[in-house]
Each structure stands twice: as structure tokens, then as C-alpha cells.
Structure 1
């Protein structure tokens, strides 16, 4: 894998995805434009390297970073963008208010919930893109601990650990009318039972909370070019 960036960035084709929420029994369809998504979750090594400004040798290997808030993930995306010569995707107010996404920027960002599910499914139609034991670190396979990224079979588009290992932050609000600023989490984690590791499952948390089974992966917008030489 490319140790100089968040990971190999996989080109995700456009498509339509239907999202659903069990609590409200609501479903809605979203058109997804092409974009790029990290083949693996952001690792501890990369997170430390970018945060400290040190070299990123082996940064796409090892376990995913966990215990990071949504706000932490947004700030990391901006820091990685600056390091790699891209325009940061987010304006983060100094007073700690909500970040604003500059959709014209070419920098790293969190995927939207629709992008995440579209990428997770990778053209498949079932609850998972393969047999769970073969594709995911969850309670039945993890031996009660977080695991290195990329150790299970990827989905048909080459994305690893879309289910299991750590939950992943998405950009979207979960349900602003009921939960205010809570943001969406997707994918299930190493301690979850099998029913939480499905493409459609949604979880939520406050953007400032750090939860021990939550990480993220980075995306880049349609038309974003390669990393500058």
C-alpha cells in the first residue's frame, strides 16, 4: 500500500443507493457521484505521523486509529490535505462550532453516508458484500481486540474492512430534529455481534465524543486528481 498517503485511494463509480433507518422505518434514495475512498481505515501510524509532522513510513499498515471524535477526524482530514498539497475541505471555526465543507476543495474529507454505503455494497445487493467471517473483524473473529487493517478479504471494489474492525465516521447529521448535532457512524466494529456488521446499519454519536471502537477513513471529491509529485 502507499505509505505516503492515507492509503491507496480507490475510485468509486457513480450510482444510486437506498438508505434506510430502522427507528423511523424510513428509506430514501440518493444519487452518488464518482469519488475516491481510502482502501483502508486511517491507521494509528498515519494519524500519529500527520499529527506530529513526522515521516509516514509504514503508515498504511497496523491497526486503525480509534477513540477519535468526529471533530478530530475533520481536523485530521485538513492536516493531511495540507501535508499532501491539497486544499483543505473544511473550515473549522476557532470557537469549536460546526465545520463547514467546501465542496469545491480537492482535499481529503469524510465520506457522506450515501457514499459510504454505496462504496461498502460495491454493486452487491445483500446485507454484506461477502461471508462475514471472511470479510470482517467482529466479535466472532476478532478474539476480543482490534486488528490490523487489510487482513480480511476486500469488497469487489478493493475496499478493506468496510464492515468490522472499527465503526467509521461519516459527514452527515444522524437526525437533526431528534439528535441535534449527532453524526452518523457506519460499518460495525471488532466487539459487535453479526447483526451490527451490515451495510445498512446506522449508529450515531456526538461530534465531540471519543468512543473506543470508532475510527474513520478518508475520501476525496469527484474530479480530485492524484497527489502532487
Structure 2
């Protein structure tokens, strides 16, 4: 199977995706530009290699990293970009609130940067669907680790069948943090989660399912995968 780290990237073609929120019964259409997205969730091995930290509840190099906040994911993206000579995608401003993700800290996405970042939820859903219709890209037991087959624990990445574009674990195993605010008028700074996790019932493991969490929360079924913007993907000189 090879050594999957969560750094392997797949080109995502441009397209259009209709996002739906069941709570508000709202549907909106988003044009998705070409980008690249991680074939697997970021693994604990890669996260530890870059940060020196093992935040996950269960330890294993090929297990997806979990127990990481949205702020942890943003900082990891910048650290990996700097390690590889890319321009970090995020500008962080430490305000008087102090601490990572504190009330006084803000973040700005530099859309001109060539570094690693979190996917938008439109990019995530477009890549998850991979040109398929319906709630899933295949029979759930064949493509996802979830409550009925995961044995109530996180599983190594890449153990289930990928979608037609080659993405693994888009549904099940761990939820993916996305860049977007969930509903700022109602939930403030809460960010979007996508994909379902190992402890979820089948109805949460759907391409359209949206969940939210506070950006400082660290949960044992929430991880992330990497994205990079297209058009700025050439390796740095030298």
C-alpha cells in the first residue's frame, strides 16, 4: 500500500457544487477553481515530524491525526509550507487575547500564497463527490470507517476504497476541518467540519453533511487534510 502521510496531493478540476444546510434548509451554488487536495487525511506521523507533537488519543504513524483544533491545523499548514520553501497561506495576528486561537488572535488567508492550507467546504464537497451523484460515492461499508464497522476506534488511512478521483477517507474515519465559518450570525467563529467520523452513524457520512465546532476544540474524531491553490503549484527554485 505504500507509506501514506497525508501529504500526497491530487489535482481537483474546476466545477460547480451545490451546498445544502439541513438546519436552515438553505441551498447555494459555488464555483470551484482548480486546486489540489490531500489524497488522505494528514497522518500522525507527518504531524509529529513537522510539529514534534502527538496530540491523538490513539498513536500510530499511519493513523489520521485527531485531537487537533482548527487553529492547530492552520498552524500546521504554515509550518509545512515554511519547511518546504512555500509562502504560508495564513497570516496570524496575535492580539491581546494571547495564546493560539485566543480571543485576541485573528487569521487572514493570503489567496496569492502557494503554501498549504485547509480546503474550503465547496472544494471539499466537489472533491468528495468526484463527479458522482447521490449522498455517497460508493457503498458505505466499502468506502468508510464509521460506527458499524470501525470497532469504535480510528483506523489507518487508505484502508477503504477511494472515490473515482483517488481520494481516500473522504467519508468516515475522521471529520475534516474546513476553512469556512459555519454560520457567523448564529454561531460566531465556529468552523465547518465535513465527512463524518469513526463514531458516526451512517446518516452523518454523506457528501453533503455539515457539522460545526469551535476552532479551539480538540476532538478525537476530527482531523484535516491539506489543500493548495492551483496555478501556484510549481516547486520553489533551488
Same fold (TM over 0.5): yes
C-alpha separation between the residues in 1 aligned to 2:2 and 2:113?
A: 22
Q: Which moved more, 1:95-104 or 1:36-45?
A: 95-104
Could you list the structure 1 runs, at least 4 aligned residues long, displaced by more than 6 angstroms after superposition.
Answer: 1-5
Shift of 1:7: 2.3
Q: What root-mean-square deviation, in Å, do the aligned CA atoms of Structure 1 and Structure 2 show?
A: 1.8
What is aligned with 1:69?
Answer: 69
Task: Find out whether 1:181 has 2:189 as its counterpart.
Answer: yes
**CA deviation vs aligned residue, 1:146-175 (integer Å, no higher than 9, x gap):** 000000000000000000000000000000
C-alpha separation between the residues in 1 aligned to 2:6 and 2:146?
A: 23
Aligned length: 223
Q: Report if the CA contact (8 A) 2:5-2:43 is conserved.
A: no
Task: Find out whether 1:138 has 2:181 as its counterpart.
Answer: no
Pairing of 1:18-57 with structure 2 (within 5 A)? 18-52=18-52
C-alpha separation between the residues in 1 aligned to 2:154 and 2:212?
A: 20
Pairing of 1:77-226 with structure 2 (within 5 A)? 77-95=77-95, 96=102, 97-226=105-234
Q: Report if the CA contact (8 A) 1:187-1:199 is conserved.
A: yes
C-alpha separation between the residues in 2 aligned to 1:157 and 1:35?
A: 13
Shift of 1:224: 2.6
**CA deviation vs aligned residue, 1:107-131 (integer Å, no higher than 9, x gap):** 0000001000000000001100000
Q: Report if the CA contact (8 A) 2:176-2:225 is conserved.
A: yes
What is aligned with 1:56?
Answer: none
SS in structure 2 at match of 1:92 = strand
Q: Which moved more, 1:68-77 or 1:219-228?
A: 219-228
What is aligned with 1:12?
Answer: 12
C-alpha separation between the residues in 1 aligned to 2:106 and 2:3?
A: 31
Shift of 1:226: 4.1
Shift of 1:140: 1.1
C-alpha separation between the residues in 1 aligned to 2:79 and 2:3?
A: 16
Name stretches of at least 5 consecutive residues in structure 1 with no aligned partner. 54-59
SS in structure 2 at match of 1:171 = strand
Shift of 1:52: 2.7
Q: Report if the CA contact (8 A) 1:61-1:149 is conserved.
A: no
